[in-house]
Structures are given as C-alpha cells and as structure tokens.
Amino acid sequence: MSLPLPFTHREITVDGVRIHCALGGDGPPVLLLHGYPQTHVIWHHVAPALAADHTVVLTDLRGYGDSAKPAPGPDDAEYSKRAMARDQLLVMRELGFDRFAVAGHDRGGRVGHRLALDAPETVSALAVLDIVPTRHTFAHADKDFGLGYFHWFFLAAGNGIPERLIGNDPEFWITARMNSRHGGGTAFDPAAIAEYVRCFSDPAAIAASCSDYRAAAAIDLTHDDADATAGRKIAAPLLALWGEHSFVGRTYDVLDVWRSYADDVRGQALPADHYLPEEQPALVTAALREFFSGRG
C-alpha cells in the first residue's frame, strides 16, 4: 500500500540509521509517528486530509516498517525513546524544518513525548494518541494492566522467547492484536493490514520491536525518572486523544495524568478503541487540524 499523492517517499540516513519517510502537502510542518505493530501507513486516511494545509512528514520509526533495524545491544539503548526521538529530530532537520508539530500514536506518542523533552525548542505542539506516560503506567501497574497490556511484559521477556513465538506466525500475532483492540468506526483497510504483516514478517523487525519494549521497562524509565527528579515537563501545548473504549480510556483520567507531565494540556475521548487514526480518521484529522492551527 502506498500513500495517495502528493506524497513522495525518501530514505534519509541520520547518525548511520536509515529512516524511511514520506512527505507531502504544503504549510506548517507536522511530523506523524506510528505505533506498534504498524508503520507510517496507519496515517493513510489522516495524512492526505491534513496535507491540505500542512506539510506532512510520516516516518517509519527505527526498527519498524522500511526503516533500518539496528541490532539490539545488551541494554537496548538502540531502541530507547531518546535514540528514536533523535532520529526524528535529525530527519526533520535534513528536510529543512527546525521547528514543527508532532502527533504520535502508541509508541510514536512515547517517541514524541521524549522528543518534546529533549528538544523543547523544536516541538511547537505535541499530540499523543491513546497513551499515558510510560513512567505512570509502570508505577500504577496492577492485575488489570497486566491482563490488558500483557504484551508489554511478553515483548520485554528475554531469552528470545517473544521473537521465536511471534516469528512462528507473525500474521496471526498482528491481526489478533489489532482486531482485539478495534472498537467501531472505520474498518481496518486490508491493504494496510497486509503492509503491516509484510514489514513485521522480517525477523529483524520482530527483534527490534521487542527491544523497543525492553527499553521502555529499563533505560526509558531511567531517562524519565531523571526528568521527574529535575522537574522537567513538556513545555509545548499538548493534545491528548484517546479511545473511549480503549484500555487507556477505561482505566486512567487521561488529562489529569498528562497534567503531571506537561504544562498546557487539553484533549478528549473519541468513539473508538486503540487505533484512532484508522477507526476515526475524520475526527482525528479535525482535532489535529484545530490544535495545530497557528502552532506550526
């Protein structure tokens, strides 16, 4: 599946890591980041509409899609959100954008969170879709979290266990995960699902994504704790969108949680489960366009 025109695809190498991206539209720049187990294609409904009045950049995070997949090291630093956020910062600089808005779904929201903390002068506005901060989730983990987000612990397991099990049938893993977290609205596009399966069938992608989750439970928390100790919060305006049927929507007071991590927070629930850009693309587009207006 390819994005509709006027998007063009490029490969940009930053700090030795090749990042696949797509670029289209005209106007203030907006960076769109995807989550697990997907690629930039999750934005295939939203991006063309947003490109009517924004320059839209979509990327595959390192380890995902058609971007490079560095071999994970012993501490998973290659997949820390700090490393992944730096990729995005350097890609945008390479494209000529020194200041831009960011919207991230799922893992992409966590990368956007880190980018807004590490490069506050760069991020003009941040939208996070169906997440609360990683540090908060681990600090408040309980039985419901363990059951609802079991994949956080499964993917972070060592000794090659998740890699072997997922690699045996990646199509089943992806379709089972996605179908179990779809709450209405627009159905998944079969071509998008096929693209996710294609990319995730690469053993290197499976290994990288597991390292992503291992980093979240280790080095990312170290970075997050350091920010909390120093009193660092997101300075950019923050929009939180979440699914009213999602685990996030059922479990957390989303705006209250984010107000402990950012100075300027607003947001709302949408009639969806987890995959907001695919389940409710028109509502997501409208919310992003209103939020980003005048903040490019």
Q: Reply yes or no on whether 256 is catalytic.
A: no
The two structure tokens encoding residue 84: 């992944």
Q: Reply yes or no on whether 273 is catalytic.
A: no
CB atoms within 10 A of CB 267: 18
Query: Which residue out of 87, 106, 224, 273 is catalytically annotated?
Result: 106
What's the gap between Cα 64 and its chain centre?
11
Rounded CA-CA distance 296/293 in Å is 7
Pairing of strands 8-14, 17-25: antiparallel
Query: Which residue out of 54, 113, 182, 274 is catalytically annotated?
Result: 274
The residues, ordered by sequence, that sit 6+ positions from 70 with a Cβ below 8 Å of its Cβ are 17, 62, 63, 78, 208
H helices present in the chain, as ranges: 46-50, 81-94, 107-118, 134-139, 143-148, 150-156, 161-168, 170-179, 190-200, 203-216, 219-230, 247-251, 254-258, 276-279, 281-292
Please check whether residue 234 is in contact with residue 113, taking contact to mean a CB–CB distance below 8 angstroms.
yes
Please give the positions annotated as active site.
Answer: 106, 274
